[in-house]
Amino acid sequence: MRLNPRLEQRLVKALLWGMTLITVFVLLFIIVFILRRGLPVLSFSFLTENPHGMGRTGGIFSTIIGTLALTAMALIVAVPLGVGTAIFLTEYTWENRLTRVIRFGADCLAGIPSIILGLFGFILFVLKLGFGWSILSGGLTLAFMILPTIIRTSEEALRSVPRSYREVSTSLGSTKWQMVTRVVLPSALPGIVTGVILSIGR
């Protein structure tokens, strides 16, 4: 027996609203729980002191600096490679075996668990290349982790730029590189930045 279309639409709408409210409630509960438990022990010294006793006492200053340094190192390596690869795939080549191999490799790399990439980075950068336990080893490992997301999101952002922008730029005498750097990239920049932020969240 088929339901009345209006009733069916109302039921689906109510179901969607219910799932949305549940999601928001869980998120708010987590935020409130963290703030209630964390704010009483949060202090300036906690943010500016180094940890002591294997992290059981002291602050988190060195942890914050280490996280920022690792993230910066990963972005310095991954953003130029990722955006450059996306530019190559969208602007400088046609669909062929090479582009399919690059996209397949990026998709496969994106599906590898973080623990496997961490083990790979440990073996390659720490042991084989002799970088040791350093910001460089961690940053390069993180760069491999976020590179696929940057490539795919940047490629989609570049493809979303209207073709007319490219045609007008070319008709005005711009070279390919001028068209990419002065027209396409600025137009795709919001999408690229969003992709970089999403990749950091991984």
Domain ranges within the chain, ordered by starting residue = 5-42, 62-201
CATH architecture of 62-201: Orthogonal Bundle (1.10)
What pLDDT sits at residue 79? 93
Report the pLDDT value the prediction gives residue 19, as an integer from 0 to 100: 94
**Contact of 140 with 70, CB cutoff 8 Å:** no
Per-residue pLDDT of the chain (202 residues; tens, 9 = 90+): 566 777 778 888 999 999 999 999 999 999 999 889 888 877 777 778 888 776 677 778 888 888 899 999 999 999 999 999 999 988 888 878 888 888 888 888 878 888 888 888 888 888 888 888 888 898 899 998 899 899 989 999 998 888 888 888 888 888 888 888 888 888 999 999 998 998 888 7
Q: Give residue 135's pLDDT.
A: 87
